[in-house]
Amino acid sequence: MQVSQQLAAQAVGQVLVGRNLSVVLEELFQQHRDITPQQRAASQDLAYGTLRFYARLEAFLKQLLQKPLSDAFIHHLLLVSLYQLSYDKAGSHTVVNQAVLAAAKTRKTWAKGLVNAVLRNFLRQKDVLEQRLASNEAAQYSYPQWWINKLKQQYPEHWQSILDAGNQHPPMTLRVNRRHGSSEDYLHALQAEDLNAHALDVQAIMLERPVPVSRLPGFEQGHASVQDWGAQFAALALDVADGMRVLDACCAPGGKTGHVLELADVQMTAMDNDASRLQRVQQNLDRLGLQAALVQGDASAPDAWWDGISYDRILADVPCTASGIVRRHVDIKWLRREQDVMTFAKQQQVILQGLWRLLAKGGKLLYVTCSVFHEENRQQIEQFLHVQSDARLLPLKHTALQSNQGQLLPGTEHDGFFYALLQKV
């Protein structure tokens, strides 16, 4: 546990100065190749959990310290330990003891005593400390206050459920490759491996609990892919048919690219601005046994890479705040700033206008974000329709999307996404 606490504390510290959690964890694991798989998994769980509830844990720590800590590692070690004492199943005595040993490794004479005193004080006063946070919304929901305020204003009836959903552990959902069989067939294959699951629709299956992909039957042969159910709506909404010329813009890591190709034999161009992420797309396509033309380029400047031939369908899965998928990317809450919302909105506007020129008359463009903020979604489309006279908004067939004008709110079965299907007339 001590090693996992140390690595998690280091990861949390780096995220809080602006770094991506996945990148940080991978770097730490590369530096500590001698750790066991169990220590690696525990480090990841502790880092994710601490960041998921960071604002609440920080509010606890502020009450427990007489003055701010100047030592960043001890500060973050205390946050990780407070997470364990608040949410983890580990015994409190073990958590405190291991944290004290981790503090001792810093060779700072004061560290052991401080860590021991703070954590034991927390255990004694936990109920009182929690009562003091009753009026602190940022601590209660563990989100930045600006984020809470925005959701209150935009979703007066749903803001609390959106915040709560973002603090849950995400489900593991599979997309069954219909070229290899139905969801019913794959459910039988899962049951044969003692993996409990249930179907969400004809292609989507949710596992009772997450497992390594190595345990999924036929995974390496492309029989199934891991993809959130809400993300699976994209390929279905795009309305593709055999022979169409299709562009998947901002395609990495290629989940939606593969799904479209599973549904129809199309001429697929998969474009992304990051060469390393395109390699990931190719790996996913290879596993599925599918082919696409991969192009490195900027979606907002298509003249640099477009061949001049119009597309029948365009999937514009544009960069966004990722506010709808924070339960999978817990660092997003603390990396984003309020001004980032409009920064992304301006970028999305340029991309949407740039890609629209590439769409054939009568063709359809599906605008997608994994955000819940109106500036990136509904307002973006309203503005586009106002200035683009040859665009019309088409109805979305999925009932979950119809109920909230294309906005899919995060819930137990899926993350948060926004969809708008536009046709060039």
Encoding tokens for residue 69? Answer: 């800590």
Quote the radius of gyration of the chain (alpha carbons, Å): 23
Q: Is 370 a catalytic residue?
A: yes
Distance CA 350, CA 384 (A): 10
What residues contact 227, with CB distance under 8 A and at least 6 apart?
Answer: 173, 174, 175, 255, 259
Encoding tokens for residue 246? Answer: 């299709």
CA angle 418, 239, 415 (to 5 degrees): 25
What residues contact 279, with CB distance under 8 A and at least 6 apart?
Answer: none
Encoding tokens for residue 144? Answer: 């930045």
Q: Classify residue 396 by its DSSP letter.
A: P
Q: Classify residue 249 by its DSSP letter.
A: E
Q: Helices 159-166 and 145-154 meet at what angle, rounded to 10?
A: 140
Q: Residue 234 in contact with residue 315, Cβ under 8 Å? A: yes
Residues carrying an active site annotation: 370
